[in-house]
Structure 1
Amino acid sequence: MSTATASRARPHARLLPPRDAFDYDYFRERLAVPSLADAGVAVALFRIPVLAVPVGSGRRGGYASFEQLVHAVEARALLSTVPGFPNLRIRWSPYRDTRHTVEWGEPGLPWWESDEVFGSFYGYSDSAIAAFVRDHSQTPSSKFSEPCSPTAQSHLTSPNVSLRT
Protein backbone atom coordinates (compact mmCIF):
# COMPACT_ATOMS: atom_id res chain seq x y z
CA MET A 1 0.00 0.00 0.00
CA SER A 2 1.40 3.38 -0.93
CA THR A 3 1.79 6.22 1.53
CA ALA A 4 -0.69 8.35 -0.42
CA THR A 5 -3.33 5.64 -0.15
CA ALA A 6 -2.67 5.02 3.52
CA SER A 7 -2.90 8.69 4.47
CA ARG A 8 -6.02 9.51 2.46
CA ALA A 9 -8.99 9.94 4.77
CA ARG A 10 -11.97 7.77 3.90
CA PRO A 11 -15.24 9.72 3.83
CA HIS A 12 -17.73 8.71 6.47
CA ALA A 13 -21.48 8.77 6.10
CA ARG A 14 -23.33 10.76 8.72
CA LEU A 15 -26.87 11.88 9.44
CA LEU A 16 -27.85 15.53 9.53
CA PRO A 17 -31.15 17.37 10.12
CA PRO A 18 -33.52 17.00 7.16
CA ARG A 19 -33.40 20.70 6.25
CA ASP A 20 -29.66 20.31 5.57
CA ALA A 21 -30.42 18.08 2.58
CA PHE A 22 -30.00 19.92 -0.70
CA ASP A 23 -33.23 18.38 -2.05
CA TYR A 24 -35.34 19.02 1.08
CA ASP A 25 -37.51 21.74 -0.52
CA TYR A 26 -38.03 19.68 -3.67
CA PHE A 27 -39.50 16.76 -1.74
CA ARG A 28 -41.40 18.83 0.83
CA GLU A 29 -43.23 20.62 -2.00
CA ARG A 30 -44.23 17.33 -3.65
CA LEU A 31 -45.12 14.98 -0.80
CA ALA A 32 -48.81 14.44 -0.02
CA VAL A 33 -47.89 14.90 3.65
CA PRO A 34 -45.11 17.52 3.62
CA SER A 35 -44.30 16.97 7.30
CA LEU A 36 -42.78 13.60 6.32
CA ALA A 37 -39.82 15.57 4.95
CA ASP A 38 -39.33 17.03 8.44
CA ALA A 39 -39.39 13.52 9.92
CA GLY A 40 -36.64 12.42 7.54
CA VAL A 41 -32.88 12.75 7.75
CA ALA A 42 -30.16 14.05 5.48
CA VAL A 43 -27.67 11.32 4.60
CA ALA A 44 -24.32 12.98 4.05
CA LEU A 45 -21.66 11.29 1.97
CA PHE A 46 -18.95 13.51 0.64
CA ARG A 47 -20.29 17.06 0.28
CA ILE A 48 -23.94 16.73 -0.71
CA PRO A 49 -26.44 15.62 1.96
CA VAL A 50 -29.55 14.07 0.43
CA LEU A 51 -32.94 13.55 2.03
CA ALA A 52 -34.19 10.14 3.16
CA VAL A 53 -37.95 10.30 3.79
CA PRO A 54 -39.49 7.77 6.22
CA VAL A 55 -42.57 5.67 5.55
CA GLY A 56 -45.94 6.65 7.00
CA SER A 57 -49.08 8.65 6.20
CA GLY A 58 -49.63 6.78 2.93
CA ARG A 59 -45.95 6.59 1.98
CA ARG A 60 -45.19 2.88 1.69
CA GLY A 61 -41.49 2.79 0.89
CA GLY A 62 -38.37 4.61 -0.15
CA TYR A 63 -34.85 3.99 -1.32
CA ALA A 64 -31.42 5.50 -1.67
CA SER A 65 -28.93 4.46 -4.34
CA PHE A 66 -25.15 4.46 -4.05
CA GLU A 67 -22.35 3.85 -6.50
CA GLN A 68 -20.16 2.08 -3.94
CA LEU A 69 -21.45 -0.90 -1.95
CA VAL A 70 -19.56 0.29 1.13
CA HIS A 71 -21.59 3.53 1.05
CA ALA A 72 -24.85 1.59 0.86
CA VAL A 73 -23.77 -0.47 3.87
CA GLU A 74 -22.89 2.69 5.82
CA ALA A 75 -26.18 4.38 4.92
CA ARG A 76 -28.20 1.30 5.88
CA ALA A 77 -26.47 1.17 9.27
CA LEU A 78 -27.20 4.84 9.90
CA LEU A 79 -30.84 4.63 8.81
CA SER A 80 -31.36 1.62 11.11
CA THR A 81 -30.99 4.03 14.05
CA VAL A 82 -33.84 6.29 12.87
CA PRO A 83 -37.59 5.63 13.35
CA GLY A 84 -39.58 5.36 10.13
CA PHE A 85 -37.14 3.24 8.14
CA PRO A 86 -38.43 -0.32 8.68
CA ASN A 87 -37.36 -3.43 6.81
CA LEU A 88 -34.05 -1.94 5.67
CA ARG A 89 -32.31 -3.99 3.02
CA ILE A 90 -29.57 -3.62 0.45
CA ARG A 91 -30.09 -4.65 -3.14
CA TRP A 92 -26.62 -5.34 -4.44
CA SER A 93 -26.01 -4.80 -8.13
CA PRO A 94 -23.54 -7.07 -9.91
CA TYR A 95 -23.31 -4.56 -12.78
CA ARG A 96 -20.71 -1.79 -12.83
CA ASP A 97 -23.08 0.73 -14.43
CA THR A 98 -25.91 0.17 -11.93
CA ARG A 99 -26.04 1.45 -8.38
CA HIS A 100 -26.52 -0.47 -5.16
CA THR A 101 -29.79 0.36 -3.42
CA VAL A 102 -30.83 0.71 0.21
CA GLU A 103 -34.60 0.19 0.43
CA TRP A 104 -37.02 0.56 3.32
CA GLY A 105 -40.68 -0.09 3.93
CA GLU A 106 -42.67 -2.37 1.66
CA PRO A 107 -40.89 -4.16 -1.19
CA GLY A 108 -40.42 -1.95 -4.24
CA LEU A 109 -42.84 -2.02 -7.13
CA PRO A 110 -42.27 -3.90 -10.39
CA TRP A 111 -40.57 -1.73 -13.02
CA TRP A 112 -43.55 -1.85 -15.38
CA GLU A 113 -45.92 0.01 -13.05
CA SER A 114 -47.14 3.43 -14.15
CA ASP A 115 -45.72 6.71 -12.92
CA GLU A 116 -48.99 7.29 -11.05
CA VAL A 117 -48.59 4.02 -9.13
CA PHE A 118 -44.95 4.82 -8.32
CA GLY A 119 -45.87 8.32 -7.19
CA SER A 120 -48.57 7.03 -4.87
CA PHE A 121 -46.28 4.35 -3.43
CA TYR A 122 -43.64 6.97 -2.58
CA GLY A 123 -46.23 9.31 -1.04
CA TYR A 124 -46.34 12.12 -3.58
CA SER A 125 -49.38 14.40 -3.80
CA ASP A 126 -51.89 13.97 -6.62
CA SER A 127 -50.89 17.36 -8.01
CA ALA A 128 -47.17 16.44 -7.98
CA ILE A 129 -47.90 13.15 -9.73
CA ALA A 130 -50.08 14.87 -12.34
CA ALA A 131 -47.40 17.51 -12.97
CA PHE A 132 -44.73 14.85 -13.34
CA VAL A 133 -46.80 12.82 -15.80
CA ARG A 134 -47.67 15.97 -17.78
CA ASP A 135 -44.04 17.13 -17.93
CA HIS A 136 -42.58 13.72 -18.77
CA SER A 137 -44.61 12.58 -21.73
CA GLN A 138 -43.95 9.06 -22.86
CA THR A 139 -42.03 8.53 -26.09
CA PRO A 140 -40.81 5.27 -27.59
CA SER A 141 -37.36 5.87 -26.12
CA SER A 142 -38.68 6.74 -22.64
CA LYS A 143 -41.66 4.43 -22.36
CA PHE A 144 -40.67 3.34 -18.87
CA SER A 145 -39.56 6.60 -17.30
CA GLU A 146 -38.75 7.04 -13.62
CA PRO A 147 -39.54 10.02 -11.38
CA CYS A 148 -36.58 12.36 -11.46
CA SER A 149 -35.55 14.73 -8.70
CA PRO A 150 -32.59 17.04 -8.23
CA THR A 151 -31.01 14.18 -6.29
CA ALA A 152 -31.45 11.73 -9.13
CA GLN A 153 -30.04 14.28 -11.55
CA SER A 154 -27.09 15.00 -9.25
CA HIS A 155 -25.42 11.70 -10.04
CA LEU A 156 -24.57 13.16 -13.43
CA THR A 157 -22.27 15.69 -11.77
CA SER A 158 -21.48 13.79 -8.57
CA PRO A 159 -21.43 10.07 -9.37
CA ASN A 160 -20.88 8.94 -5.79
CA VAL A 161 -24.40 9.16 -4.41
CA SER A 162 -27.95 9.77 -5.49
CA LEU A 163 -31.13 9.29 -3.58
CA ARG A 164 -34.68 8.71 -4.61
CA THR A 165 -36.87 9.00 -1.59
Structure 2
Amino acid sequence: MNARVAHRRKRELPQLTITLVPAAEAYDYEFVASRLHDHCLLHSSVAVRVFRAPLLAVPVGGCRRGGRIGAGPVTVALAIRDALQGRPGFSDMRVRSALSSGSHHWVVEWGDRASDWPLCSPERVRFYGYSDGFVAEPASRLTPPRHGPAATCCCANLPLHRFALDPRDELVERGRR
Protein backbone atom coordinates (compact mmCIF):
# COMPACT_ATOMS: atom_id res chain seq x y z
CA MET A 1 0.00 0.00 0.00
CA ASN A 2 2.84 2.42 0.75
CA ALA A 3 4.27 1.82 -2.71
CA ARG A 4 0.95 2.90 -4.25
CA VAL A 5 0.88 6.09 -2.21
CA ALA A 6 4.49 6.88 -3.15
CA HIS A 7 3.71 6.22 -6.80
CA ARG A 8 0.76 8.63 -6.67
CA ARG A 9 2.92 11.34 -5.17
CA LYS A 10 5.49 11.00 -7.94
CA ARG A 11 2.93 11.67 -10.67
CA GLU A 12 3.19 15.23 -11.78
CA LEU A 13 0.27 17.43 -12.71
CA PRO A 14 0.06 18.53 -16.34
CA GLN A 15 1.97 21.73 -16.97
CA LEU A 16 -0.21 24.81 -17.12
CA THR A 17 0.34 26.71 -20.35
CA ILE A 18 -1.21 30.10 -21.02
CA THR A 19 -0.85 31.35 -24.59
CA LEU A 20 -1.81 34.72 -26.02
CA VAL A 21 -3.24 34.36 -29.53
CA PRO A 22 -4.95 36.80 -31.94
CA ALA A 23 -8.21 38.18 -30.58
CA ALA A 24 -10.33 36.79 -33.41
CA GLU A 25 -9.51 33.24 -32.24
CA ALA A 26 -11.39 33.79 -28.97
CA TYR A 27 -14.52 31.67 -28.55
CA ASP A 28 -16.41 34.72 -27.28
CA TYR A 29 -15.03 37.23 -29.82
CA GLU A 30 -18.28 37.85 -31.74
CA PHE A 31 -20.31 37.98 -28.54
CA VAL A 32 -18.10 40.67 -26.97
CA ALA A 33 -17.41 42.57 -30.22
CA SER A 34 -21.10 42.99 -30.95
CA ARG A 35 -21.63 44.68 -27.58
CA LEU A 36 -18.42 46.71 -27.24
CA HIS A 37 -18.89 50.48 -27.57
CA ASP A 38 -15.38 51.23 -28.91
CA HIS A 39 -14.50 48.67 -31.59
CA CYS A 40 -10.98 50.12 -31.90
CA LEU A 41 -10.15 48.27 -28.66
CA LEU A 42 -10.45 44.98 -30.55
CA HIS A 43 -7.20 45.79 -32.39
CA SER A 44 -5.24 45.64 -29.12
CA SER A 45 -7.26 42.80 -27.59
CA VAL A 46 -5.85 39.29 -27.24
CA ALA A 47 -7.30 35.86 -26.74
CA VAL A 48 -6.00 34.12 -23.64
CA ARG A 49 -5.77 30.40 -24.32
CA VAL A 50 -5.99 28.31 -21.17
CA PHE A 51 -5.59 24.65 -22.06
CA ARG A 52 -7.55 24.67 -25.36
CA ALA A 53 -10.15 27.43 -24.80
CA PRO A 54 -9.17 30.95 -25.90
CA LEU A 55 -11.20 33.74 -24.27
CA LEU A 56 -11.10 37.43 -25.17
CA ALA A 57 -9.25 39.94 -23.00
CA VAL A 58 -10.09 43.54 -23.98
CA PRO A 59 -7.77 46.31 -22.76
CA VAL A 60 -8.85 49.50 -21.00
CA GLY A 61 -9.32 52.52 -23.24
CA GLY A 62 -11.88 55.03 -24.44
CA CYS A 63 -14.93 54.68 -22.19
CA ARG A 64 -13.82 51.22 -21.01
CA ARG A 65 -12.43 51.74 -17.51
CA GLY A 66 -11.80 48.15 -16.45
CA GLY A 67 -11.69 44.56 -17.61
CA ARG A 68 -11.87 41.07 -16.17
CA ILE A 69 -11.65 37.43 -17.15
CA GLY A 70 -12.82 34.44 -15.15
CA ALA A 71 -10.03 32.02 -14.39
CA GLY A 72 -11.28 29.21 -12.16
CA PRO A 73 -8.41 27.95 -9.95
CA VAL A 74 -5.95 30.45 -8.47
CA THR A 75 -3.01 28.89 -10.36
CA VAL A 76 -4.75 29.66 -13.66
CA ALA A 77 -5.58 33.20 -12.51
CA LEU A 78 -1.95 33.89 -11.58
CA ALA A 79 -0.73 32.54 -14.92
CA ILE A 80 -3.22 34.72 -16.85
CA ARG A 81 -2.16 37.78 -14.84
CA ASP A 82 1.49 37.10 -15.61
CA ALA A 83 0.77 36.62 -19.34
CA LEU A 84 -1.12 39.95 -19.63
CA GLN A 85 1.21 41.92 -17.33
CA GLY A 86 2.95 44.79 -19.12
CA ARG A 87 0.75 44.81 -22.22
CA PRO A 88 -0.71 48.22 -23.16
CA GLY A 89 -4.20 48.67 -21.70
CA PHE A 90 -3.70 46.02 -19.03
CA SER A 91 -2.55 48.17 -16.12
CA ASP A 92 -3.02 47.50 -12.41
CA MET A 93 -3.36 43.72 -12.90
CA ARG A 94 -4.82 41.89 -9.91
CA VAL A 95 -6.25 38.52 -8.96
CA ARG A 96 -9.39 38.44 -6.86
CA SER A 97 -11.41 35.69 -5.26
CA ALA A 98 -15.05 35.64 -6.32
CA LEU A 99 -18.01 33.79 -4.92
CA SER A 100 -20.83 33.16 -7.34
CA SER A 101 -23.76 30.82 -6.86
CA GLY A 102 -22.03 29.22 -3.89
CA SER A 103 -18.92 28.22 -5.86
CA HIS A 104 -15.45 29.62 -5.28
CA HIS A 105 -13.37 30.77 -8.24
CA TRP A 106 -10.82 33.44 -9.15
CA VAL A 107 -10.92 36.32 -11.61
CA VAL A 108 -8.19 38.46 -13.13
CA GLU A 109 -9.00 42.17 -13.28
CA TRP A 110 -7.25 45.22 -14.75
CA GLY A 111 -7.77 48.96 -14.92
CA ASP A 112 -9.96 50.80 -12.41
CA ARG A 113 -11.69 48.82 -9.69
CA ALA A 114 -15.38 48.23 -10.35
CA SER A 115 -17.94 49.17 -7.72
CA ASP A 116 -20.45 46.64 -6.43
CA TRP A 117 -23.09 47.54 -9.00
CA PRO A 118 -25.84 45.04 -9.72
CA LEU A 119 -24.86 42.71 -12.53
CA CYS A 120 -27.02 44.33 -15.21
CA SER A 121 -26.89 47.95 -14.09
CA PRO A 122 -26.21 50.63 -16.72
CA GLU A 123 -23.22 51.83 -14.65
CA ARG A 124 -21.58 48.40 -14.75
CA VAL A 125 -22.26 48.01 -18.48
CA ARG A 126 -20.64 51.41 -19.18
CA PHE A 127 -17.71 50.69 -16.83
CA TYR A 128 -16.74 47.67 -18.94
CA GLY A 129 -17.18 49.69 -22.14
CA TYR A 130 -20.30 48.07 -23.52
CA SER A 131 -22.86 50.04 -25.49
CA ASP A 132 -25.94 51.37 -23.71
CA GLY A 133 -28.14 49.35 -26.07
CA PHE A 134 -26.81 46.17 -24.49
CA VAL A 135 -28.86 46.82 -21.34
CA ALA A 136 -32.17 47.11 -23.17
CA GLU A 137 -31.47 44.51 -25.86
CA PRO A 138 -34.33 41.98 -26.07
CA ALA A 139 -33.52 38.38 -25.17
CA SER A 140 -34.62 37.15 -28.59
CA ARG A 141 -31.74 39.08 -30.21
CA LEU A 142 -29.02 37.79 -27.90
CA THR A 143 -26.87 34.94 -29.09
CA PRO A 144 -24.60 33.08 -26.70
CA PRO A 145 -20.89 32.68 -27.45
CA ARG A 146 -19.87 29.51 -29.28
CA HIS A 147 -18.09 28.35 -26.13
CA GLY A 148 -16.62 30.02 -23.10
CA PRO A 149 -17.96 31.40 -19.88
CA ALA A 150 -21.68 31.69 -19.27
CA ALA A 151 -22.75 35.12 -20.37
CA THR A 152 -25.60 37.03 -18.86
CA CYS A 153 -28.72 38.33 -20.51
CA CYS A 154 -29.18 41.71 -18.86
CA CYS A 155 -32.79 42.22 -19.82
CA ALA A 156 -34.13 39.09 -18.15
CA ASN A 157 -31.47 38.48 -15.47
CA LEU A 158 -31.21 34.87 -16.66
CA PRO A 159 -27.92 33.37 -17.79
CA LEU A 160 -27.83 32.74 -21.53
CA HIS A 161 -26.83 29.14 -21.00
CA ARG A 162 -30.41 28.58 -19.79
CA PHE A 163 -31.61 29.37 -23.31
CA ALA A 164 -31.50 27.05 -26.29
CA LEU A 165 -32.45 27.40 -29.95
CA ASP A 166 -35.79 25.90 -30.86
CA PRO A 167 -36.43 24.46 -34.36
CA ARG A 168 -37.35 27.97 -35.59
CA ASP A 169 -33.89 29.28 -34.47
CA GLU A 170 -35.43 31.34 -31.69
CA LEU A 171 -34.01 31.48 -28.19
CA VAL A 172 -36.27 29.83 -25.64
CA GLU A 173 -35.73 29.02 -22.01
CA ARG A 174 -34.89 25.35 -21.47
CA GLY A 175 -37.93 23.31 -20.65
CA ARG A 176 -40.32 25.88 -22.16
CA ARG A 177 -41.40 26.46 -25.74
Q: Which TM bucket (shorter chain)? A: 0.7 to 0.9
Distance across 2 between alignment mates of 1:25 and 1:94: 27
Per residue, is there more helix in 1 or in 2? 1
Q: Which residue of 2 aligns with 1:60?
A: 65
Q: Which residue of 2 aligns with 1:44?
A: 49
Q: Which residue of 1 aligns with 2:3?
A: none
Does 2:114 align with 1:117? no
**RMSD of the TM alignment (CA)?**
2.7
Report the TM-score, using the length of structure 2 for normalisation.
Answer: 0.69
Q: Which residue of 2 aligns with 1:91?
A: 96
Match of 2:107 among 78, 101, 112: 101
Q: CA deviation at 1:39?
A: 1.3
Q: Which residue of 1 aligns with 2:139?
A: 135
Q: Which has the larger radius of gyration?
A: 2
Match of 1:13 among 18, 25, 39: 18
Q: CA deviation at 1:82?
A: 1.4
* Number of positions where the alignment pairs a residue of Structure 1 with one of Structure 2: 142
Give structure 1 stretches of 5+ with no counterpart: 137-147, 157-165
Partners of 2:118 and 2:124 within 8 A in 1: no
Partners of 1:27 and 1:37 within 8 A in 2: no
Q: CA deviation at 1:7?
A: 5.5
Q: CA deviation at 1:113?
A: 6.8
Three-state SS of the structure 1 residue aligned to 2:14 is coil
If asked which structure has higher relative contact order (CA below 8 Å, sep 6+), I would say 1
Q: 1:101 to 1:113 in 2, by over 3 A?
A: closer
Q: CA deviation at 1:112?
A: 3.6
Q: CA deviation at 1:36?
A: 1.1
Distance across 1 between alignment mates of 2:123 and 2:98: 24
Q: Which deviates more from structure 2 when the two are superposed, residues 112-121 or residues 21-30? A: 112-121
Q: Which residue of 1 aligns with 2:75?
A: 70
Tell me the amino acid that sits aligned with residue 152 of structure 1.
P
Three-state SS of the structure 2 residue aligned to 1:44 is strand
Three-state SS of the structure 2 residue aligned to 1:92 is strand
Tell me the amino acid that sits aligned with residue 135 of structure 1.
A
Identity of aligned residues (%): 32
Q: Which residue of 2 aligns with 1:162?
A: none
Q: 1:2 to 1:14 in 2, by over 3 A?
A: farther
Tell me the amino acid that sits aligned with residue 121 of structure 1.
F
Three-state SS of the structure 2 residue aligned to 1:11 is coil
Q: Which residue of 2 aligns with 1:144?
A: none
Q: Which residue of 1 aligns with 2:167?
A: none
Give structure 2 stretches of 5+ with no counterpart: 1-5, 152-160, 162-177
